[in-house]
Amino acid sequence: MLPSSTVENYLKAIYLGEGHLADDQRLVPMGQLASALGVAPGTATTMVKALAESGLVEYEPYNGVRLSAAGEKLAALVLRRHRLIELFLVRVMGLGWDEVHDEAEQLEHHVSDRLIERIDEMLGRPEVDPHGDPIPKADGHVARHEFDTLLTCPLGERVTVTRVTDQEAPFLRFIEQHNLMPGESIEVEARDEVSDSVRLKGRSDQRITIGMRAASKVRVSASDASSRG
């Protein structure tokens, strides 16, 4: 009865897919799901129908799929394992933040509850992973902070990077090389629609200009008093 790694991957992909959507209409389209998982569309359809049978998702033909309460809890626990493992690999094993995602993608399905509890304890019950993604609690509850991106935050004010929402290694290495990792204090100097670019002032007034697509993947919060690492 325990879910296979395939099932866990589907649930997680739906969970993450739902994130992009509004609170009411949170149906993930089949096409998006299939491409997120790297399977053919028909495969996703078949699989989702099976998941619906076992009560983990609700499926609306031609519209998409959403998680049931049970499915959402399971997905959150997979994500918890994933993110705790990522942080563990960076902090304890000394791996780079750009190489832990793929490793966690495998291990998240094969680590026992007992070991996860050990890791959580050893890391001091952390709230976020190396990319700033929140770590769900053991009961499946997730703290959902809403942050601005570099596209929506105020201009000319110091802000702190809180989260980088792209797991691709080359992007993460770029972020690291330019001191834009979570915790860094930066400022958006200007945005230009025409050139599709955003100009930043980074650590020690270092200037960088990045594209808007990239800018939308960096989340920030106001750099004043109230914050939690």
Partner DNA sequence: TGAATAATTTTGACTATCCAAAATTAAATC
Partner DNA sequence: GATTTAATTTTGGATAGTCAAAATTATTCA
**Residue 110 is a binding residue for a copy of itself (CB under 8 A):** yes
Grouping H, G, I as helix, E, B as strand and the rest as coil, residue 19 is: helix
CB 39 within 8 A of CB 46: no
| Binding of Mn ion by 72 (CB under 5 A) | no
The residue among 27 and 151 lying less far from DNA, judged by its C-beta, is: 27
Site string for DNA, 24-63 (x = CB under 7 A): -----xxxx----xxxxxxxxxxxxxx--------x-xx-
**Beta carbons within 10 angstroms of residue 113's beta carbon:** 10
Nearer to DNA, 37 or 116 (CB): 37
Which among 204, 202, 200 is positioned nearest to 192, based on CA atoms? 200
Select the binding partner of residue 29 from DNA, Mn ion, a copy of itself, none (C-beta < 5 to 8 A, by kind). DNA
- Asked if 98 is part of the footprint of Mn ion (rule: CB under 5 A), the reply reads no
Choose between 17 and 130: whose C-beta lies nearer to DNA: 17
**15 to 135, 173, 191: CA distances (angstroms):** 14, 26, 32
> Does residue 124 belong to the site contacting a copy of itself (CB under 8 A)?
no
Alpha helices (H) in the chain, listed in sequence order: 5-19, 30-37, 41-53, 69-91, 100-107, 113-122, 169-177, 212-215
Q: b vs e for 142-178, b when ≥16 Cβ sit within 10 Å of the residue's Cβ? A: eeeeebbbbeebeeeeebbbbbbebbeeebbebbeeb
Q: Which does 89 bind (CB under 5 to 8 A by kind): a copy of itself, Mn ion, DNA, none?
A: a copy of itself
Task: Give contact residues for a copy of itself (rule: CB under 8 A).
Answer: 89, 92-95, 99, 102-103, 106-107, 109-112, 114-115, 118-119, 122
Task: Give contact residues for DNA (rule: CB under 7 A).
Answer: 4, 6-7, 29-32, 37-50, 59, 61-62, 64
